[in-house]
Amino acid sequence: MRFALAGASVVSIFVLAACGGSPGRPPRPMSALDIVPAPPGVVERAAFMEKAPCTRCHTVPLAAMSPVHPAAHWGVAQRHAPNETMQCQTCHADPVRGELRMLGGAPVGFDESHRLCGQCHARQQKDWAGGAHGKRATGWASARVAIGCTGCHNPHSPGFGRRLPAMTRKEAAGE
Amino acid sequence: MKNGLVQILSQPMDRRTAITVAGCAVAGAATAAASVANAINPFASPESREASRLEWQRYFQENYRLMSEEEKTEALLRLERLHQLKHGGRISVSGAEPIEKVLFGYAFNVSKCRGYLECVSACIRENNQDRASGMAYIRIHEHRNGEFDFSKASDTFDHPVPAEGHFYLGTQCFHCQNPPCVDVCPVKATWMEPDGIVVVDYDWCIGCRYCMAACPYDARRFNWQAPEVPEADLNPNQHYLGNRMRQKGVVEKCTFCIQRSRDGRNPACVEACPTGARIFGNLLDPQSEIRWVLANKKVFRLKEDLGTDPKFWYFMD
Ligand code: SF4
Ligand code: SF4
């Protein structure tokens, strides 16, 4: 597995400094507007994605595309939020630029899903950055490398389904 | 308790004394006599005679905590050789010591667990638990929403999960910092290691099951029969105080995967959980995930009033 080491971003250092304040002054309480620092490492995913960046297949902007051959994306259904809240373009840049975009329009890479998803899911993002949400790719003793949001959740249908357990415990009811 | 422990441990007590103390001399002598009979049987194959000799030595070995370094090494090699003689395959039995300045702790996110039992399945495979009896260290309890009563919860569900209107909560050994199971063991076969893991010396346990009665969390399991794991499914990376094969009549339980955790890895359940409900780490490291959870989440423990001080916390999102 390869890891993209994000390091402490400039933004997060700035936030930490701002929180510290001068001695004697209580630190500013965290608010949803604070940018939550990412853990030291996030598992790299973009390099292993088959259908990204979009420019791997597409050469013309989305608007100029004929709607006739959507077969490559038939598996994708938007089951994330109602259509009035989210459409493809909410996260995917348009015209096709091979990247995702923040709500404000700024580009964001496929390996930084925590920034993108955290715009709405701020509580989950904070828990993920701290270690209470999601999974780490390393053992407890190594530097922390976290699995990004899309490493576990399908962004188009992020819920976990209902299924049979991995095994049955009926026979183990005794000791 | 400390005094009693030191007193008993400083008395030279061999296996035979311990057994006599427990009043099991007849059964013990029979087992030992059988291996002696085979060891000197001129018609037995050299392998089976070697195995009998090793079994004999193993039978009279010290409590693990009283072994010298050489004795520990011998005991580990003996187990590896015995496995090879009996089953043909190779295993490695580690005696890795606790890492300094490490105290293991665990947190369980009740909001995230969905009853998939991936942890239970991974635990059974990692820890070589008896397949025949379906032993499992971890139990996942299916509770009805709004109800928190273990007597009404099911830990044997086999329908699609998560079931509508239910939540799931897992239990296993909590590695209590004040473990009642350790206090009651009459032969000091179970104890807490400096890194906080409560372990059992399966070669010293006499199977009295006092510890099972003393544990308020139903965390210990007893081998009513000789545990069976098909050779192909056996995890060969073992630890003396962890997932090495147990024998009939001894107690075992979760060891936070000592064979993995002392190697810097996470326990198998933590790694297997698909929802990230399980968090493990060093309580003495302020930068660890477990410390972040303890500092930022409303955590609770089971039967806190008993004063067992479990190193296993629950929290919700
Ligand atoms: S949970 Fe039970 S077996 Fe584990 S340390 Fe506590 S009392 Fe002992
Ligand atoms: S069953 Fe429990 S109390 Fe009895 S000897 Fe074994 S570890 Fe000790």
Structural domain that includes position A54? 40-60+79-150
HSE at residue B85, side-chain half, CA atoms within 13 A, is 17
State whether B42 and B172 are in the same domain: no
> How far is Cα B126 from Cα B119, in angstroms, rounded to an integer?
10
Q: Quickly state the pLDDT bin for B291 (edges 50, 70, 90).
A: very high
* Residue bearing the bigger pLDDT, B157 or A4: B157
Secondary element (H or E) of residue A149: helix A149-152
User: Residue A133 and residue B276: Cβ atoms within 8 Å?
Assistant: yes
Residue B231 CA to its chain's centroid (Å):
20
Burial class (CB in 10 A: 0-12, 13-18, 19+), B36: middle
State whether B200 and B254 are in the same domain: yes
Cβ pair B204, B187 in contact under 8 A: yes
State whether B256 and B317 are in the same domain: yes
Comparing CB atoms, the residue among A140, A152, A162 nearest residue B160 is A162
- Kindly state the DSSP code that residue B297 receives in the 8-state scheme: S
How do residues B75-112 score in pLDDT, each as one tens digit?
A: 999 999 999 999 999 999 999 999 999 999 999 999 99
Structural domain that includes position B18? 4-90
Cβ pair A108, A100 in contact under 8 A: yes
Q: Which of B277, B289, B236, B231 is nearest to B79 (CA)?
A: B236
Q: Return the ligand number nearest the Cα of B310.
A: 1
User: Residue B155 and residue A169: Cβ atoms within 8 Å?
Assistant: yes
Query: What local confidence, expressed as pLDDT, does residue B269 receive?
Result: 98
* Range with lowest mean pLDDT among A105-119, B95-109, B296-310: A105-119
Q: Tally the domains of chain A.
A: 1
Q: Which atom of ligand 2 is nearest to the CA of B185?
A: 3
State whether B16 and B128 are in the same domain: no
Structure tokens at B175: 């590695």
Beta bridge partners of B222: B251
Cβ pair B220, B212 in contact under 8 A: yes
With H, G, I as helix, E, B as strand and everything else as coil, classify residue B40: coil
Amino acid type, B41: N
Ligand 1 center from residue B155 Cα (angstroms): 19
Residue A28 lies in a domain: no
Q: Which atom of ligand 2 is nearest to the CA of B204?
A: 5
User: Residue A170 and residue B117: Cβ atoms within 8 Å?
Assistant: no
How do residues A45-85 score in pLDDT, each as one tens digit?
A: 887 887 766 777 777 776 777 766 666 777 788 889 998 99
> How far is Cα A166 from Cα B79, in angstroms, rounded to an integer?
32
State whether B146 and B279 are in the same domain: yes
How do residues B244-280 score in pLDDT, each as one tens digit?
A: 999 999 999 999 999 999 999 999 999 999 999 999 9
- Which CATH number fits the domain that encloses residue B208? 3.30.70.20
pLDDT at B32 over 60: yes
* Residue bearing the bigger pLDDT, B53 or A23: B53
State whether B128 and B105 are in the same domain: yes
Residue A113 lies in a domain: yes
pLDDT at B12 over 80: no
Residue A168 lies in a domain: no
Query: Would the CB of B199 count as within 6 Å of ligand 2?
Result: no
Share of chain B above pLDDT 90, in %: 83
Query: What local confidence, expressed as pLDDT, does residue B45 receive?
Result: 86
Comparing CB atoms, the residue among A136, A162, A175 nearest residue B162 is A162
State whether B195 and B52 are in the same domain: no
Structure tokens at B71: 């004795």
For a ligand 2 pocket test, name from B190, B191, B252 the mutation site with the most ligand atoms within 8 angstroms of its C-beta: B190
Cβ pair B140, B168 in contact under 8 A: yes
Residue A141 lies in a domain: yes
Structure tokens at B279: 């968090």
Q: Average per-residue pLDDT in chain B?
A: 91
Query: What local confidence, expressed as pLDDT, does residue B210 receive?
Result: 98
State whether B18 and B71 are in the same domain: yes
Residue with tokens 């025949």: B132
Residue A161 lies in a domain: no
User: Residue A140 and residue B292: Cβ atoms within 8 Å?
Assistant: no
* Residue bearing the bigger pLDDT, A104 or B40: A104
State whether B231 and B271 are in the same domain: yes
pLDDT at B316 over 90: yes
Q: How many CB atoms lie within 10 A of CB B47?
A: 11
* Range with lowest mean pLDDT among A32-36, A63-67, B50-54, B215-219: A32-36
Amino acid type, B81: R
Residue B79 CA to its chain's centroid (Å):
17
Ligand 2 center from residue B107 Cα (angstroms): 27
Q: How many CB atoms lie within 10 A of CB B35?
A: 18
Share of chain B above pLDDT 70, in %: 88
Q: Whose CA is nearest to atom 6 of ligand 1?
A: B176
Backbone angles phi, psi at B35, to 5 degrees: -70, -35
Residue A124 lies in a domain: yes
Q: Which of A65, A92, A62 is nearest to A76 (CA)?
A: A92
User: Residue A140 and residue B265: Cβ atoms within 8 Å?
Assistant: yes
pTM for the full model?
0.84
Query: What local confidence, expressed as pLDDT, does residue B172 receive?
Result: 98
HSE at residue A174, side-chain half, CA atoms within 13 A, is 10
Q: Tally the domains of chain B.
A: 2
Q: Which atom of ligand 1 is nearest to the CA of B181?
A: 8
Backbone angles phi, psi at B48, to 5 degrees: -70, -30
Structure tokens at B172: 């296993």
Ligand 2 center from residue A99 Cα (angstroms): 60
**Nearest-5° Cα angle at B185, B179 to B191:** 50
How do residues B43-55 score in pLDDT, each as one tens digit?
A: 778 888 999 999 9
State whether B62 and B195 are in the same domain: no
Q: In whole angstroms, how far apart are CA B185 and each of A170, B50, B249? A: 31, 33, 15
Query: What local confidence, expressed as pLDDT, does residue A139 receive?
Result: 95
Question: Interface pTM (ipTM) of the complex?
Answer: 0.83
Secondary element (H or E) of residue B109: strand B104-109
- Kindly state the DSSP code that residue A55 receives in the 8-state scheme: G
Query: What local confidence, expressed as pLDDT, does residue A96 receive?
Result: 58
Cβ pair B129, B135 in contact under 8 A: yes
Average pLDDT of the residues in B232-244: 97
